Amino acid sequence: MVYCHVMRRSVFIKTFGCQMNAVDSARMLSLLSSASYRAAATLEEADLVLLNTCSIREKADQKIYSDLGTLRRWKQRRPGRLVGVGGCLAQQDGEALRARAPHVDIVFGTHNIANLPEMVRRAEHRLPTLAIGMEEGITHWDVVPHLPAGAVTAMVAIMQGCDNFCAYCVVPLVRGREVSRPAGEILSEIRALAGRGVREVVLLGQNVNSYGKKEGEIPFPELLRRISAVEGISRIRFITSHPRDLDDRTIRLFGEAATLCPHVHLPLQSGSDRVLAAMGRGYACAGYLAKIEALRQVRPGMAFSSDFIVGFPGETEDDFRETLSVMKEIRFDSAFSFRFSSRPGTRAAEMKEKVDPLVAADRLRRLQELQAAHTRERLSARVGREVDVLVEGASARDPGMRCGRTPCNKTVNFHPGSAEGPVRSVLVTGAGTHSLLGKERPANA
Ligand code: SAM
Ligand code: SF4
């Protein structure tokens, strides 16, 4: 008998940016696994490196071009190595990216993932590819994202792109116009995930509350209701909600469906109505506060997180103080905050009244200090309580400990007991800067 031993090549995927990119990377891995590539544990071991890029802020661009410099030397160290760049920066810079980094073999945009195996095959034969067309729409939704063994939580893209064109944001330009996936497809993906042991799904979209409106699909709250009925799924989360489009029906559902986790990420961006109008966000602060209040009414103890941009063109010290004041009123559990970054092709890039970078940096520091205090306060309030933790794996701080999250999305590192199963009852014994400490309650307690 003759054994034919085929050496599998390996791929290292580095993901930048948001969860949507993380899911796309999982799809890329899935596609390449069926094209005889395995995941490399390190960059040095890999034959192919893919950068799945982000272009939301200028800093992300700079980091990626700096990585590409490193990859030029990486490629020279072993013949036959290949470099591919996908995602938002590839979509945005296209040909210019290859001109700046000629050692890149494949440049592929946000709508061109499905053809990755073909592009890699071409690159193996020294044929470079530039694929950034959006005309065909999204062709990769039926590619099942790679799921790590034993995963209890999974992200599921329900839509892509955005029609909002907020003045500062490059997403509609690089991800394209908003497109929703058919509900039936989403539900079968979730059923399959439940069958593989997944207990929590995180639904992804740039504006999940407008899910299906263009396509005449079922409304978002109905989608949530149907997912709630999937056997095995006990936790549903979604990101990102748009404050303008979060409707009463979805809010009410938080009081009806126990599977909906009591945490909402609702990006406010600014506490000043003047700045919100200039950003083109389509809501004012009072409306935002009313929705937070309504959510707290239907689900007491709900956790909230948000995104903020400081130093948007024309933002004054008074505008900024309004942001701090809304933060004090709401007391978010956590927040992502950024200094405004001017992005090519956006309306804000043309706005004249730029804020001095040092002033913007100082505002960001003040905002982050305030948020850190609120985060500490929110975490400390949980000490002494018992929480249900969905266990995701070993703790990074101590391999003897386990790590998981509460329904409110708080990370908990805890000393395990003897209980079995993915959800453990944990007594919170301490609070850190971003996470909780705990110990598992004995199974018969
Ligand atoms: N679709 C979501 C929404 O409407 O809030 C968020 C999308 S974006 C990937 C995530 C966050 O990045 C935004 O909420 C915003 O705070 C921030 N962001 C987007 N463009 C930015 C820019 N040009 N400068 C600074 N931050 C920006
Ligand atoms: Fe960007 Fe606004 Fe769309 Fe969010 S809603 S992705 S911030 S344009």
pLDDT at 102 over 80: yes
Work out the mean pLDDT of the chain and round it to a whole number. 95
What values do phi and psi take at 3, rounded to 5?
Answer: -95, 130
Separation between Cα atoms, residue 383 and residue 397, nearest integer Å? 19
**pLDDT tens digit sequence for 380-406:** 999 999 999 999 999 998 989 999 999
How many CB atoms are located within 10 Å of the residue 314 CB? 16
Phi/psi of residue 413, each to 5°?
Answer: -100, 125
Q: What is the pLDDT of residues 23-82, one digit of tens each?
A: 999 999 999 999 899 999 999 999 999 999 999 999 989 999 999 999 999 999 999 999
Q: Which atom of ligand 1 is nearest to the CA of 168?
A: 23
Q: 123-145 b/e with 16+ CB inside 10 Å = b?
A: beeeeebbbbebeeebebbebeb
pLDDT tops 80 at residue 16: yes
CA distance 260 to 390: 14
Q: Give the integer Cα–Cα distance in Å for 16 and 60.
A: 8
For residues 326-349, give the mean pLDDT: 98
Percent of residues, the chain, with pLDDT higher than 90: 93
pLDDT at res. 419: 86
pLDDT at position 132? 95
Between CA 269 and CA 271 the distance in angstroms is 7
For 132-242, strand residue ranges (E) read 153-157, 159-160, 179-180, 200-204, 235-239
- Ligand 2 atom with the smallest distance to the CA of 240 is 4
**Distance from Cα 335 to the centre of ligand 1, integer Å:** 12
Q: Which ligand is nearest to the CA of 345?
A: 1
Give the model's pLDDT for residue 444.
58
Task: Give the three-class secondary structure for 443.
Answer: coil
Packing angle, helices 285-298 and 317-330, rounded to 10: 10
Q: Which residues are within 8 A (CB) of 381 and not within 5 positions of it... i.e. 6 or more apart?
A: none
CA-to-CA dists, residue 219 to 109, 124, 246, angstroms: 29, 45, 12
How sure is the predictor about 428, in pLDDT bands with cuts at 50, 70 and 90? very high
Closest ligand 1 atom to 343 CA? 23
At 275, list the tokens: 């700045």
Instruction: Dump strand ranges (E) for 262-361.
Output: 263-265, 303-310, 334-339
User: What pLDDT, in 10s, does the model give residues 357-375?
Assistant: 999 999 999 999 999 999 9
pLDDT of residue 263: 98
Q: How far apart are CA 300 and CA 45, in angstroms?
A: 50
The whole-angstrom separation of Cα 435 and Cα 430 is 9
Closest C-alpha to 423, from 435, 436, 437, 441: 441
Report the run of H or E that residue 250 belongs to, with start and end: helix 248-256
Which residues, other chains included, contact 307 with Cβ-Cβ below 8 Å and sequence gap of 6+? 265, 267, 268, 269, 335, 336, 337, 338
pLDDT value of residue 7: 62
Protein residue with least CA distance to atom 1, ligand 1: 206
263 touches 409 (CB < 8 A): yes
Instruction: Please list the residues that pair with 415 across neighbouring strands.
Output: 439
Give pLDDT, residue 8: 85
- What pLDDT was estimated at residue 225? 98
Place of tokens 């599998």: 8
Half-sphere exposure at residue 266, Cβ-oriented, CA atoms within 13 angstroms: 29
CA-CA distance, 438 to 243, in Å (whole number)?
A: 34
* Measured distance CA(405)–CA(419) in Å, rounded: 17
Nearest CA to ligand 1 atom 22: 341
- Rounded percentage of the chain residues whose pLDDT exceeds 70: 98
Tens digit of each residue's pLDDT (9 = 90 or more) over 149-205: 999 999 999 999 999 999 999 999 999 999 999 999 999 999 999 999 999 999 999
Query: 10 CA to middle of ligand 1, Å?
Result: 34
For 294-330, the pLDDT digits (tens) are: 999 999 999 999 999 999 999 999 999 999 999 999 9
- Residue 281 CA: which ligand is closest? 2
Which residues of 54-182 form beta strands (DSSP E)?
A: 82-87, 106-108, 129-131, 153-157, 159-160, 179-180
The closest-lying atom of ligand 2 relative to the alpha carbon of residue 280 is 2
- In a mutational test of the pocket of ligand 2, which residue from 54, 162, 213 has the highest number of ligand atoms less than 8 Å from its CB? 162
Say what the pLDDT of residue 6 is: 52
Among the bound ligands, the one closest to the CA of 176: 2
CA 438 to ligand 1 center in whole angstroms:
34
The per-residue pLDDT for 4 is: 43
Question: Cβ < 6 Å from ligand 1: which residues?
Answer: 18, 56-57, 168-169, 171, 206-207, 240, 242, 267, 269, 307, 309, 338, 340-341, 343
